[in-house]
Amino acid sequence: FVTEEIASQPDCWRRAVALAESAAAVLPRPGERVAVLGCGTSWFMAQAYASLREGSGQGETDAFTATELPADRRYDRVVTITRSGTTTEVLAALTRLHGRVPTVSLTADPNTPVMERSDETVVLDFADEKSVVQTRFATSVLALLRTHLGADLTGAISDAETTVTEPLPVGATERRQFTYLGAGWTIGLANEAALKMREASLSWTEAYPAMEYRHGPMSITDGSSVVWFLGTPPNGLLDEVGKLGALVVCEPARDPMAELIRIQRLAVEIGAGKGLDPDRPRNLTRSVVL
Ligand code: F1P
């Protein structure tokens, strides 16, 4: 399933953009102090959104994995992201918050407990997935939230039309170690890229804020590595990495969310090459419940 789900992202993003207008009634208003919660992929989308919202001047925005929302912090609104609507940590956080702060959840499935535990919900059922590995739900949520923040996704969608079929970087499938680097909102995308590679291909992957990579992580880079930038690399870093013999991938003119599609495809291709089923990764279920 995952291959079709990856390829459907341009269409899903169009639908997400169309949904942003009606969702605006329940999403954070400018000036509100907001916390965004999720687990795994959904946490990484929360990170990207938090950085974008705060950067756009709409208000202080913090992202947490669902267990780590500080108990004494005061927020005007809490946003949760959960495809399944059943993730234990997200439901526990919503229960703790009930009656204390308005909550809004973005989910794929309206018939789940998250609907009762949230004050408001935005349902992206068109982006739901059969694969355990999340691809289009996560990016569609971010497409909706970016639109709500005032971004025009036309360029991102047209870049995505390219990246669903564009050849993967030559030699990438033969490499052994993958490092993803981002800055600002693309740190969340770098984290997600690394998780996708772990889940679908059981690869050794790392992710860092771009300049942080120079403070130690760079030591692992050699001729067997891929170093992949999401967004624009800081001045000088690209040259420095290039000298280490790694395969360096960097498409700064492209929307980073569209570039993530190539990484999703690489993860599936490497996984398939290892005889893995990318729809059902080892030790992972569609909904992680305790
Ligand atoms: C999030 C999650 C994903 C993971 C896998 C299982 O759940 O743990 O991060 O990659 O797809 O689900 P959800 O709360 O978004 O359903």
pLDDT, average across residues 244-260: 97
Interface predicted TM-score (ipTM): 0.94
Q: What is the 157 CA–ligand 1 centroid distance (Å)?
A: 24
Query: Which amino acid appears at position 8 of this protein?
Result: S
| CB environment 196-205: b (16+ within 10 A), e (fewer) | bbbbbbbbbb
| The pLDDT of residue 282 | 85
pLDDT of residue 217: 96
pLDDT band of 13, cuts 50, 70, 90: very high
Residues 148 and 161 in one domain: no
pLDDT tens-digit series, residues 150-192 = 999 999 999 999 999 999 999 999 999 999 999 999 999 999 9
**Residue 19 covered by a domain:** yes
- Same structural domain, 18 and 132: yes
Q: Residue 154's CB: how many other CB atoms inside 10 A?
A: 11
23 plus 130 within the same structural domain: yes
For residues 178 and 132, state if they share a domain: no
Rounded Cα gap, residues 74 and 100, in angstroms: 10
The domain spanning residue 128 has which CATH number?
A: 3.40.50.10490
Residues contacting 66, CB < 8 A, separation 6+ = 37, 38, 39, 43, 80, 87, 89, 90, 92, 93
> Does 278 fall in a domain?
no
Q: Given this model, what pLDDT does residue 284 score? A: 84
Q: Is residue 290 in a domain?
A: no
The model's pTM: 0.97
Host domain of residue 16: 2-152
Residue 231 Cα to ligand 1 middle (Å)? 24
Residue 290 has what pLDDT? 78
Q: Which of 107, 128, 152 is the last residue of a domain?
A: 152
Residue 28 has pLDDT above 90, yes or no: yes
Question: Predicted confidence band at 50 (pLDDT cuts at 50, 70, 90)?
Answer: very high
Residues having CB closer than 6 A to ligand 1 are 39-42, 82-84, 87, 90, 132-134, 199, 284, 286-288
Does 252 lie in the same domain as 138? no
Pocket test for ligand 1, best of 45, 288, 290 (most atoms within 8 A of CB): 288
Number of domains comprising the chain: 2
Query: Average model confidence (pLDDT) for the chain?
Result: 96
Residue 43 CA, ligand 1 centroid: distance in Å: 9
Domain annotation covers residue 286: no
Q: Which of 96, 39, 87 is nearest to 63 (CA)?
A: 39
Claim to verify: residue 169 and residue 262 sit in the same structural domain: yes
Instruction: Output the pLDDT for position 278.
Output: 83
Q: Considering the domain boundaries, does residue 287 fall inside one?
A: no
Same domain, 129 and 63: yes
pLDDT attached to residue 281: 85
Tell the residue number behind the tokens 């079929």, with chain if given. Answer: 165
Instruction: Indicate if 133 and 263 belong to the same structural domain.
Output: no
Taking residues 252-277, what's their average pLDDT? 97
Atom of ligand 1 nearest to the CA of 84: 16
* Same domain flag for 172 and 262: yes
For residue 285, the model assigns a pLDDT of 82
**Do 17 and 111 sit in the same domain of this protein?**
yes
Residue 211 lies in a domain: yes
Average pLDDT over residues 43-71: 98
Q: What is the pLDDT of residue 210?
A: 97
Which of 284, 285, 290 gets mutated to test ligand 1 (max ligand atoms within 8 A of its CB)?
A: 284
Q: What is the 3-state secondary structure (H, E, C) of the chain?
A: CHHHHHHCHHHHHHHHHHHHHHHCCCCCCCCCCEEEEECCHHHHHHHHHHHHHHHCCCCCEEEEEHHHCCCCCCCCEEEEEECCCCCHHHHHHHHHHCCCCCEEEEECCCCCHHHHHCCEEEECHHHCCCCCCCCHHHHHHHHHHHHHCCCCCHHHHHHHHHHCCCCCCCCHHHCCEEEEEECCCHHHHHHHHHHHHHHHHCCEEEEEEHHHHHCCHHHHCCCCEEEEECCCCCCCHHHHHHCCCCEEEECCCCCHHHHHHHHHHHHHHHHHHCCCCCCCCCCCCCCCCC
Model pLDDT, residue 289: 82
Q: Do 27 and 86 belong together in one domain?
A: yes
The span from the CA of 287 to the CA of 88, in Å, is: 9
Q: Does pLDDT of 262 surpass 90?
A: yes
**Inside any domain, residue 126:** yes
Q: What number is the average pLDDT over the span 256-268?
A: 98
Q: Looking at residues 15-33, what average pLDDT do you find?
A: 98
Per residue in 84-138, pLDDT tens? 999 999 999 999 999 999 999 999 999 999 999 999 999 999 999 999 999 999 9
279 occurs within a structural domain: no
pLDDT at 287: 80
Q: Do 6 and 111 have their domain in common?
A: yes
